[in-house]
Amino acid sequence: MPDTLIPTADEARAEIERLSLRTQLFIDGGFRDAADGTRFTSVNPATGRPIAEVARGGPADVEAAVAAARRAADDGRWSRLNPGDRKQILVRWAHLIEAHARELGLIETIDAGKPITDTVGLDMPETAMCIRWHAEAADKLYGQVAPTPEGTVATITREPLGVVGAVIPWNYPAQMAAWKLGPALATGNTVVIKPASNTSLSLLRIAELAAEAGIPDGVLNVVTGPGDTVGEAIGRHPHIDGLAFTGSTEVGRRFLHYSAESNLKRVMLELGGKSPQLVFPDVIDFETIAANIAAAIFWNMGENCSAGSRLIVHRAVKERVLDALQAQMALWPVGDPLDPATKIGPMITRGQMEKVLGYVEIGRREGARVLTGGTQILEETGGWYVPPTVVDNVRNDMTIAREEIFGPVLSVIEFDTEAEAVAIANDTPYGLASSLYTENLNVAHRVARELQAGVVAVNCYSEGDMTTPFGGYKLSGFGGHDKSVHAHDQYTETKTIWIQLKAAG
């Protein structure tokens, strides 16, 4: 049974006391300490207080994890399973994640500061759904027969890469893991995955559930620890065949270097964004549009690669849109993430909060006007809270319009013509997501085609769902997509088998 009932704050606190957190590396089907025995502290962003001491893996632990994953890949205990059996095991795993959604959501909330309503109600069900979706495709992936000349047969089939490395961020710890693990495991690979140091805990418990579901030893390995040691060792390892990463563009670039300087492993990067939200002058339903605009930028504290951080609005409707947006503010209460009423929890770290507030200050200095928010609140809690922030009079060449802030900060930019709106939207090094609002079907189609972004949402804020690919243009992505059957391509090699038939007699 899915356990997705949101606890009250009191229930949540009582259940947290009873949590038994997994804090060791998960390698070859079991938990173990780091080879050198060291640990690092995981902190609750809502209180600034420690919650766990987590094993600090290093290159020796990556070596052990890759060795286990390599053995499991080479002996075929996973890749050569009947695809239907692989599917059943992964579906069982998805059921277990759902059955533990409340426990996992609590872990995610105290580790990442994400509101409990989101972690229990959305993140964990979506994590399970992602695993199940890819699992169910495992026995429905067909090869092809090529149209070759008489007397020959050529088949085109997909084979697993072998060992996949994955390095993931802290903003959606469980979901980002699932976006990599679902397609990589469904297509028969084994995996070594590193969670972000700020948020290791949910993945360790999810890995334990994988073993309970019957995923064989060595198929899924989790190495916790710092990016510049564990992450780099994964990126450079000669026995890892493919690498999937979500995080900053800066670190994403490094993985291309690691690959180039090691074994040319396949690299798939899902990176940052500076996504535009365009509002055209013919819009009517300001309340719905404002609700979507707010969700696009305030959801998950704005710590979201697809956050709609630039509102590009026609001069004629700007004031009405901003008034409607102001009315939305009350619907985004900031506070204790264990309170089911909270929609905005703390920033992940003090450093992230300072970075976000620093950008607001730079915006002020460059001539923008802060309409609401822009300062730390709830300091007495020990947490790192930034309220929803709207900054007006922004020009697209200002720092806050160009750089990824990764916080609840919306920059408002005016336009006069459709061509100008498109030019502003595309004038960014990024190209992940975008939205546009109009009543005119011609404008919708025309502009949707012109926007340089992996996802264009029309009259809504959306990344699509599990059936649609997610990935970015320009500095937002490289080498593949998350979600949908398209995600299976990057975790498989294409093989041609060419057969010469002998003539009869």
Residue 361's H or E segment, with its range, is helix 350-365
Based on its alpha-carbon atoms, the radius of gyration of the chain, rounded to whole angstroms, reads 24
Could you give the string, one character per residue 300-339, with x where binding to ligand NDP holds by CB under 6 A and - elsewhere?
A: -----x----------------------------------
159 noted as active-site residue = no
Question: Which residue of the set 103, 108, 126, 270 is catalytic?
Answer: 270
Q: How far is the CB of 26 from ligand NDP (least distance, A)?
A: 16
Residue 258's H or E segment, with its range, is helix 249-260
Applying CB under 6 A, the span of 17-25, 148-156, 221-229, 311-319 interacting with ligand NDP comes to 221-229
Contact 346, 407 (CB under 8 A): no
SS3 143: coil
Task: Indicate which single residue of 128, 196, 207, 425 sits in contact with ligand NDP (rule: CB under 6 A).
Answer: 196
Q: How far is the CB of 389 from ligand NDP (least distance, A)?
A: 15
Task: Indicate which single residue of 22, 100, 114, 194 sits in contact with ligand NDP (rule: CB under 6 A).
Answer: 194
User: And the tokens for 66?
Assistant: 């890759």
Per-residue DSSP letters for 280-321?
-TT---HHHHHHHHHHHHHGGGG--TT---EEEEETTTHHHH
Q: Which is nearer to ligand NDP, 194 or 310 (CB)?
A: 194
Q: DSSP H helical segments within 19-78, as ranges? A: 59-74
SS3 223: coil
Q: How far is the CB of 349 from ligand NDP (least distance, A)?
A: 9
Residues 197, 199, 205, 210, CA torsion sign:
negative
Could you give the string, one character per residue 379-408, with x where binding to ligand NDP holds by CB under 6 A and - elsewhere?
A: -------------------------x-x--
> Is 111 among the residues that bind ligand NDP (CB under 6 A)?
no
Task: Indicate which single residue of 232, 336, 392, 482 sits in contact with ligand NDP (rule: CB under 6 A).
Answer: 232
SS3 96: helix
> Is 492 among the residues that bind ligand NDP (CB under 6 A)?
no
Task: Indicate which single residue of 64, 271, 311, 475 sits in contact with ligand NDP (rule: CB under 6 A).
Answer: 271
Task: Indicate which single residue of 58, 121, 188, 231 sits in contact with ligand NDP (rule: CB under 6 A).
Answer: 231
Per-residue DSSP letters for 408-455?
SEEEEEEESSHHHHHHHHH-SSEES--EEE-S-HHHHHHHHHHS-SS-
Q: How far is the CB of 54 from ligand NDP (least distance, A)?
A: 11
* 108 CB-near residues (< 8 Å, 6+ apart): 114, 119, 123, 124, 173, 174, 199, 201, 202
Conformational region of residue 16, where left means phi above 0, alpha means psi within -120 to 50, and beta covers everything else? alpha
Could you give the string, one character per residue 152-191, with x where binding to ligand NDP holds by CB under 6 A and - elsewhere?
A: ---------------xxxxx--------------------
> Is 345 among the residues that bind ligand NDP (CB under 6 A)?
no
130 noted as active-site residue = no
| Active site positions, annotated | 270, 305
Enumerate binding residues for ligand NDP (CB under 6 A): 167-171, 194, 196-198, 226-228, 231-232, 235, 246-248, 251, 254, 271-272, 305, 404, 406
